[in-house]
Amino acid sequence: MGLIRNLARSSTVIRQILIRNNHKIIMARQLHASRTDGVDKNVWVEFTQLAADYKAVNLGQGFPDFSPPKFIQEAFCKAVSGGPIMHQYTRAFGHPPLVRSLAKFFSRIVGHEIDPLEDILVTVGAYQALFCAFQALVNEGDEVIIVEPFFDCYQPMVKMAGGKAVYVPLRPKAASGAVLSSGDWVLSAEELASKFTPRTKAVVINTPNNPIGKVYKTEELQMIADLCIKHDALCISDEVYEWLTYDGAKHVKIASLPGMWERTITVGSAGKTFSATGWKVVHRLCNVFILFTACSFDDLFWSQVGWAISSGHIVKHMKTIHQNTVYHCATAAQEAVAQGFEREYEVFGSPESYFQQLPAMLHLKRNKLASCLESVGLQPIMPQGGYFMIADISSVKVDYNDQSSVDEPNDFRFVKWLTKEKGLATIPVSAFYSPEHSKEFDKYIRFCFVKEDSTLDAAEDILRKWSKGQ
């Protein structure tokens, strides 16, 4: 038996090597589907691996290195030990308690009665909600306007749906001269209007924005809404950082503006909302349940939870994509998120609310990172929201001494150098731009501040030593 298993395994390995090295040996036709062309590079795959390889202090990919709040950890453990149904499939389009909680919570905010069964789709993270939106709504040849800088997955997702991404940049413009805040990055109404054509199907916005932290004002959203309505286009609004705003900036949902509910898809994320992008900390906490409930460790590799909220006539088509791809998301994770929203509904607006506590904590971390960057001569752009900050590296002269990266943009080379030589991982900002515009923005790198103070201190230590030439 063992021999047969080993033979089967080695023939699989040989086959994979043949496919990798010369697929024509196996298949005379093109092996891969053409939709994978041009979308194979991924900044997270590359830079998260680099950070791990060099064991760098990681201010790169955005995820908290501290625990989610106690109430959500407890809800998660309670769900895990909640009997057999918590380990089996639930409703394909969203666990009933979760869609009910989301509908109750967000109806109050959008100012529109959300139907839990018709108007919500629960997905594996916001990522899958975005995928379902593009697949369900973009046809071959449709144009999708994307505001730059943008979370990188929008472009490949539009392309895989057969659409064409059309870009419009936020431009740094400050009345006083120096651009110091993400609020100084603005969208020109004329420029946006000029991008619409009869093929425009949708506009994608992200507020608070990743990577710069811009929080769109109501007037800016109204301008976008007016153009969507005028040109009969949809709006895909990525609001995964909706609770994270600072200095009085207020997050506004474009879906709440007149005439926009019917044409907006609002995307949200439990990972960002409850600081649990992978439930990794909860795994450890649940070890005790593994012992007592005899469920396997694999059962506890929960997926993330995200959602899309929109009018039922739009969600209907996203459900079609979901039921033919992922079909259904982890039951216990959905149950825990439902409990989290029930709790937040009760304490909404009070100091007990995590949606107040998390931004209050991050506000301090934002200021701590900004003063550190300033003190070493890296001018930060102060974010009004989210958990990222970009900083200008153009004043820094570095001898990269790295032939492998000579053809790459300056920010890519800088980030690689900083990770490899100084042990501090960040993300190059030109990765958030289209190839047409990335050159103009390769003087910025992105730092993530949803980190323990000890991690921020370690980063500060590296930057200070470097600036002193040590």
Ligand X SMILES: Nc1ccccc1C(=O)C[C@H](N)C(=O)O
Ligand Y SMILES: Cc1ncc(COP(=O)(O)O)c(C=O)c1O
Assess 44 for contact with ligand X (CB under 6 A): yes
Cα 82 to Cα 299: distance, rounded to the nearest angstrom: 14
Assess 44 for contact with ligand LL5AMS7Z (CB under 6 A): yes
Residues 412 and 467: beta-carbon distance below 8 Å: no
Cα 111 to Cα 108: distance, rounded to the nearest angstrom: 5
Q: Which residues between 50 and 79 bind ligand LL5AMS7Z (CB under 6 A)? A: 61
Candidates 304, 334, 384, 455; binder of ligand Y (CB under 6 A) is 304
∠ Cα 70 242 115 (to 5°): 90
Cα 376 to Cα 463: distance, rounded to the nearest angstrom: 7
Residues 29 and 234: beta-carbon distance below 8 Å: no
Q: Helix or strand or coil: residue 240?
A: coil
Name the binder of 48 from ligand LL5AMS7Z, ligand X, ligand Y, none, CB < 5-8 A by kind: ligand LL5AMS7Z
Name the binder of 306 from ligand X, ligand Y, ligand LL5AMS7Z, none, CB < 5-8 A by kind: ligand Y
Identity of the residue, 233 or 445, whose beta carbon is nearer to ligand X in the bound complex: 445
Residue from 312, 325, 260 nearest 130 by CA: 325
Identity of the residue, 61 or 356, whose beta carbon is nearer to ligand X in the bound complex: 61
Size (the chain), residues: 470
Residues 39 and 159: beta-carbon distance below 8 Å: yes
Candidates 101, 128, 155, 210; binder of ligand X (CB under 6 A) is 210
Strands 424-425 and 57-58: parallel
Q: Single out the segment in contact with ligand Y by CB under 6 A; choices: 124-132, 222-230, 288-296, 421-429.
A: 124-132
Identity of the residue, 62 or 359, whose beta carbon is nearer to ligand X in the bound complex: 62
Q: Kindly compute the dihedral angle of the four CA atoms of residues 332, 333, 337, 342, in this order, to the nearest 10 degrees.
A: 0
Cα 192 to Cα 223: distance, rounded to the nearest angstrom: 9
Neighbouring C-beta atoms of residue 327, cutoff 10 Å: 10
Cα 218 to Cα 445: distance, rounded to the nearest angstrom: 28
Candidates 61, 81, 323, 405; binder of ligand X (CB under 6 A) is 61
At residue 308, φ and ψ (nearest 5 deg) are -125, 135
Site string for ligand X, 89-128 (x = CB under 6 A): ------------------------------------x-x-
Assess 48 for contact with ligand LL5AMS7Z (CB under 6 A): yes
Q: Which residues between 59 and 78 bind ligand Y (CB under 6 A)? A: 62
Least Å distance between CB 304 and ligand LL5AMS7Z? Answer: 7
Assess 62 for contact with ligand X (CB under 6 A): yes
The CA radius of gyration of the chain, in Å to the nearest whole number, is 23
Least Å distance between CB 254 and ligand Y? Answer: 15
Tell me the torsion sign for CA atoms 139, 141, 142, 147: positive
- Encode 354-377: b = buried (16+ Cβ within 10 Å), e = exposed: bebebbeebeebbebbbebbeebe
| Closest residue to bound ligand Y by CB | 125
Site string for ligand Y, 206-245 (x = CB under 6 A): x---x---------------------------x-x-----
At residue 280, φ and ψ (nearest 5 deg) are -65, -40
Assess 383 for contact with ligand X (CB under 6 A): no
DSSP 262: G
Give the residue carrying structure tokens 């001018």. Answer: 379
Q: Which residues between 149 and 168 bind ligand Y (CB under 6 A)? A: 151
| Closest residue to bound ligand LL5AMS7Z by CB | 44
Cα 105 to Cα 100: distance, rounded to the nearest angstrom: 9
Q: Which residues between 333 and 392 bind ligand Y (CB under 6 A)? A: none
Assess 271 for contact with ligand Y (CB under 6 A): yes
Assess 125 for contact with ligand Y (CB under 6 A): yes
Any residues with CB less than 8 A from the CB of 111 and at least 6 apart, and which? 256
Q: Single out the segment in contact with ligand Y by CB under 6 A; choices: 67-75, 120-128, 353-361, 371-379.
A: 120-128
Assess 326 for contact with ligand LL5AMS7Z (CB under 6 A): no
Identity of the residue, 125 or 268, whose beta carbon is nearer to ligand X in the bound complex: 125
Give the residue carrying structure tokens 């958990």. Answer: 387
Least Å distance between CB 450 and ligand Y? Answer: 11
Type and span of the H or E element at 48? helix 43-53
Least Å distance between CB 21 and ligand Y? Answer: 34
Q: Which residues bind ligand Y (CB under 6 A)?
A: 62, 125-127, 151, 206, 210, 238, 240, 269, 271, 277, 304, 306
Which positions touch ligand X (CB under 6 A)? 44, 61-62, 125, 127, 210
| Contact residues: ligand LL5AMS7Z, CB under 6 A | 44, 48, 61
